[in-house]
A and B are shown apart, each in its own frame.
Chain A
Amino acid sequence: MSASTAKPLLSLKGISKSFPGVKALQNVHLDLYPGEIHALMGENGAGKSTLLKVMFGAYSADEGAFELSGEPVSIRGPVDALHKGISMVHQELSLVPQLSAIQNIVLGWEKSVAGFIDWSAARREALAALARLDFQGNPHVPVSRLSVGQQQTVELARAIAANAKIIILDEPTASLSTKESEKLFSILRELRADGHALVYVSHRLAEVFDLADRATVLRDGQYVGTLLRGPDLNETSLVKMMVGRSLEDFAIQHEATLGAVALKVDGLARNGVFQNVSFEVRRGEIVGMAGMVGAGRTEVARCIAGADRIDAGSVSVNGKALSLSSPSDAVRAGIAFLTEDRKHQGLALRMSLAKNATLTRVPTRMGFINRTKQAADAKSALASVGARMPTTRLAGQLSGGNQQKVVLAKWLLSGCDIFIFDEPTRGIDVGAKAEIYALMRDLADKGAAILMISSDLPEVLRMSDRVLVMREGTLSGEVARAEATEERIIAFASGGNTWQS
């Protein structure tokens, strides 16, 4: 590491960018040296995405200097950025699902001989890049058949095949399992050793401490500071820089007062996905559900919520078995399902907050929608989740944390009292995370029954009164709050142990 003496590969000086009515970036600095992993930190809405887009040429800055190896340049768009050695691995993967890994890697770069794609050259280059990343999947089948982790490796291979020295990673571990994440980290370390400069965006602080040589923090579009790896780079200082205050109330000390069984799942199965899943959730209780990605947790939730067909077993609410043929049956029984994918399953992005919040219960008067009440209902529900925003704003304009609050507001208005949260804080920054946690706890204290699916172990440990663990489509363990440790959960999730209460 010679970060202090070497010449920066990329240097951003005094970058500003405005959108109508919003100053997204103001006077932001960032130096990127060869052979470093540089974490870019900040809450949602802090300007990280905008800065990434400026680096990648998707936006042009209003002000400021953009230098590559000391030369001022202007980036005219993502393709130009790639030609200049800057590549981006997007949070939502941007591969063409129907094409193979090889086809995806050379997409847009195909060398042609007499108008035909030179597949042998393409295959050679792509396979070389994949081999460097120790890719284990089949490079010839459509990438949609690969695991998320493998797809991400393909994206990285794209960057390497394009000979990009600068690789930007936007929340690369958001949808990876622990094992896949570990693999990614070792790849990133190798790339660093080879002199690549990596920009790394993540909400998971542990990863940042693990990987980053330096961390630059943005807040409200402004440059707050850069921390070097060392004693200064710790949770307290980072969080304080990110949110502008320390997070004393982050850990929630709590004794749940348990009520009657609200949700009972008995022998639930969906062919080929999961089998024989039985558990109960009581009122006042938050039950965590841990497990690897692909263990079948979301699928169980979808069946309880009526979104997928159940092949065997039953779901009862307050002791009464439900006949679930569609989500409307579950909603009527009081089950709210807050999906992991808020953009496609949680919110109608082109509709206003008022319409989104009241979607399950549109207030009407004599057959017509009562717009005044609709706005008032939405406003009070949004206020109760700590989101004070004009209800006329469109849902698509909000940051991840606020989107989750709107989804929560919607389900509060629905009158449901059994909540299934699937990855409730995925893609949400630290400040909003604490608020979501407090809201969930508050709901439980008011008598709601909560099932929380999460891949974030610290979150599972922090929030759950009881932890269920799934592995390969079965419930592999249950751990009481007092005995819950990361090691025990991982043991159940990865098959070290079988059932034990």
Chain B
Amino acid sequence: MAKLEAANASPGAAATEKWSVRRLFSEWRELGIIAALIMTVLVFTAIDPEFLSSYNLVNIVLQASVTAILAMAVTFVIITGGIDLSIGTALALSAVVSGLLMSQGYPLPVVVLGTLATGALAGLFNGTIITLSGITPFVVTLGSMSIFSGLALIVSGGQTVYGIPPEFSDLLAGKIGPIPTPIVIAFVVLVVSSVVMRMTKLGEYLIALGGAREVARLAGIKVGFYTAIAYVISSSLAAVGAMVTVGRLGAADPALGADLLLPAIAAAVMGGADLNGGEGSMLGAVIGALLIATLQAGLTFLNVQAFYQQVAIGVVIILALLSNRLQKA
């Protein structure tokens, strides 16, 4: 018996001592996407050294901030084995509510609470229907995508909401010290989301019910409740993204959402979120968003036509997923 145990113990011990690139990549999942981001920056810099000027870099991060927030939002849901196709239009709906509250002169706390409540209610709607009906999240959120979009148009009367008082724009699109506020907000969301996923029971349950729903259920975890929570978090983060967007644009466009969904999901998945559930990384999602923004900025910088940009970005997304897959195998 003692001999057996020694034999069992030694492979593990040997494995921790032996260092290899393959092992590093499989242990630290974000490494692949980080490498991809660095390579992309290097390629653009090689083509034109001007690309790396600090203004441009800050600009890229700024461009990426809303996508990053949405990517983290949808990561919460993907980890549970679900999907949230409605985050784009949930953002639009929250943006319109936010814009209306701002333009009607409500104070900041009311604006923030009102916007967050809108997002949370949207998520509660998704989560409740998914939990109670048993309909797949894809279909439910496909429906609510349309509902939220319609509500955004109804609330705004189909018009872009203007008249955002400058103090809101200054606050939301200004700078904190040298750093633009949207970047700070995205960073705070990253820190809080990572802490929730890694250090709290909630995070552990979300992973458990994504990776092994029946195991979690039989262990007495209230899977319906926690599933709903994931959607509430997702849409609430979309509301945070909405405030940043309204601040940056100085207006709230009810048709905002459509273009935001795909980059967000792509960033989340490139960052390591497994669409089957049970795995996902907040840092990875943010870096995925940075990669997409870098590509957009770089291709624009090189005067590549917008049509070709779309093709190039699509190709990079597929390549990134392919390398994720190889990394896992």
Contact = CB atoms under 8 A, between A and B. Distances in A.
A330 B218 CA distance: 9
A423 B5 CA distance: 27
B278 A345 contact: no
Interface stretch (B204-212, B289-297, B317-325): B204-212
B218 A350 contact: no
Nearest to B214: A345
B200 A346 contact: no
Interface residues of B, number: 30
Contacts of B219: 327, 331, 359-360, 410, 414
What does DSSP make chain A's interface, helix, strand, loop or mixed?
Answer: loop
Interface in A343-368: 344-351, 355, 359-360, 362, 364, 367-368
A426 B18 CA distance: 36
B227 to A, nearest CB: 13
A362 B204 contact: yes
Interface in B146-202: 195, 199-201
Contacts of A349: 211-212
What does DSSP make chain B's interface, helix, strand, loop or mixed?
Answer: helix
Q: Which of B4, B5, B219 has the most CB of A within 10 A?
A: B219
B5 A348 contact: no
B233 to A, nearest CB: 16
B215 A344 contact: yes
Contact of A347 (B200, B204, B215, B278): B215
A330 B208 contact: no
A390 B14 CA distance: 13
Nearest to A335: B220
Given A348-B212, A355-B208, A328 B220 contact: yes
B184 to A, nearest CB: 24
B24 interface: no
A220 B220 CA distance: 37
A328 B215 contact: no
B7 A369 contact: no
A396 to B, nearest CB: 10
B316 interface: no
A414 B208 CA distance: 16
A400 B278 CA distance: 22
Contacts of B11: 21-22
Contacts of A331: 219-220
Contact of B12 (A21, A337, A369, A410): A21
Nearest to B218: A327
B194 to A, nearest CB: 12
Nearest to A348: B212
Given A348-B208, A350-B279, A351-B207, A359 B4 contact: no
B311 interface: no
Nearest to A374: B204
Contact of A368 (B200, B208, B221): B200
B199 A369 contact: yes
A382 to B, nearest CB: 13
B220 A350 contact: no
Given A369-B200, A388-B5, A21 B211 contact: no
Given A21-B14, A348-B211, A367 B200 contact: yes
A228 interface: no
Interface residues of A, number: 36
B215 A348 contact: yes
Interface in A238-289: none
A180 B212 CA distance: 31
Contact of B212 (A305, A307, A347): A347
A348 B218 contact: no
A384 interface: no
B38 interface: no
Contact of B218 (A21, A22, A337, A368): A337
A20 B215 CA distance: 29
Contacts of B218: 305, 307, 327, 337, 339, 345-346
Given A305-B218, A369-B204, A20 B211 contact: no
B132 interface: no
Nearest to A390: B12
Contacts of A369: 199-201, 204
Nearest to A364: B201
A31 B305 CA distance: 66
B303 interface: no
A307 B218 CA distance: 7
Contacts of B221: 328, 359-360
A389 B18 CA distance: 19
A332 B218 CA distance: 12
A246 to B, nearest CB: 14
A350 B5 contact: no
Contacts of A346: 215, 218
Interface string B1-36: 000110110011011001000000000000000000
Contacts of A20: 15
A393 B222 contact: no
Nearest to B10: A21
B207 A220 contact: no
Contacts of B212: 344, 347-351
A318 interface: no
A21 B215 CA distance: 30
B34 to A, nearest CB: 22
B117 interface: no
Contacts of A362: 201, 204
A237 interface: no
A326 interface: yes
Interface in A293-344: 305, 307, 326-328, 330-332, 337, 339, 344
B76 to A, nearest CB: 17
Interface string B216-251: 111111101000000000000000000000000000
B211 A359 contact: no
Nearest to B14: A21
B27 to A, nearest CB: 11
Contact of B15 (A21, A367, A388): A21
Contacts of B195: 368
A327 B220 CA distance: 5
A339 B219 CA distance: 11
23 contacts: A22-B11, A220-B4, A307-B218, A327-B217, A327-B218, A328-B220, A328-B222, A331-B219, A332-B220, A344-B215, A347-B212, A348-B208, A348-B211, A351-B208, A359-B215, A360-B219, A364-B200, A364-B201, A368-B199, A369-B204, A390-B12, A410-B219, A414-B219
Interface of B: 4-5, 7-8, 11-12, 14-15, 18, 195, 199-201, 204, 207-208, 211-212, 214-222, 224, 278-279
Closest 3 CB pairs between A and B? Answer: A331-B220, A21-B11, A348-B212
Given A349-B212, A369-B204, A388-B5, 4 more contacts: A326-B217, A327-B217, A347-B212, A348-B211
Interface of A: 20-22, 220, 305, 307, 326-328, 330-332, 337, 339, 344-351, 355, 359-360, 362, 364, 367-369, 388-390, 393, 410, 414
